[in-house]
């Protein structure tokens, strides 16, 4: 009987310690939202659908960094590379169609509209150029994974 009382006391103490530890434990941090990038664009939705490459910058007039990204992207415009800026206020249906939930979102897509590289947020000219070069000619960039998801 004495052993049974000791065992019950030990179980009770362990239970109390577990409850106190659980109450003091910090809650898990909330998961971070991941913004999405379209995996494919319908090239007919954008200017110059016949160009082999398309660089699209989804932006907003209220976005402070979007203008810089658009300006850097425009330099990429050639016969082979079409560049367009899709402002939220002017082209809201496209933002909704492609579920753009963060700006700037830069998408590099091929002739079929398949996303080959992308950037969320500000991107410098060097990284943008390297990602487009790598998409057009795999192995040409010193950072082949740049802009990849």
Instruction: Decide: 110 and 136 in contact? Cβ < 8 Å.
Output: no
Domains and CATH numbers, the chain: 43-136 (3.40.30.10)
pLDDT for residue 46:
97
Residue ranges with strand state E in the chain: 53-59, 81-87, 105-109, 115-120
Q: What is the pLDDT of residues 10-47, one digit of tens each?
A: 877 777 777 777 777 777 677 666 788 999 999 999 99
Q: How far apart are CA 28 and CA 121, in angstroms?
A: 27
Query: What is the pTM (predicted TM-score) of this model?
Result: 0.75
The CB density around residue 8, as the number of other CB atoms within 10 Å, is 10
Q: How far apart are CA 27 and CA 103, in angstroms?
A: 31
């Amino acid at each position: 009987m004495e052993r049974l009382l000791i065992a019950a006391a030990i179980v009770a103490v362990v239970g109390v310690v577990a409850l106190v530890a659980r109450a003091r434990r910090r809650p898990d941090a909330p998961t971070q939202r991941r913004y999405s990038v379209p995996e494919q664009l319908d090239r007919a939705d954008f200017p110059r659908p016949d160009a082999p490459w398309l660089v699209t910058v989804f932006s907003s007039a209220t976005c402070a960094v979007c203008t810089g990204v658009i300006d850097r992207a425009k330099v990429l415009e050639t016969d082979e590379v079409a560049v367009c800026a899709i402002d939220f206020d002017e082209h809201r249906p496209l933002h909704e169609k492609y579920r753009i939930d963060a700006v700037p979102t830069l998408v590099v897509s091929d002739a079929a509209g398949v996303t080959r590289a992308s950037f969320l947020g500000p991107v410098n000219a060097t990284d943008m150029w390297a990602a487009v070069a790598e998409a057009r000619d795999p192995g040409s960039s010193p950072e082949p994974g740049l802009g990849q998801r």
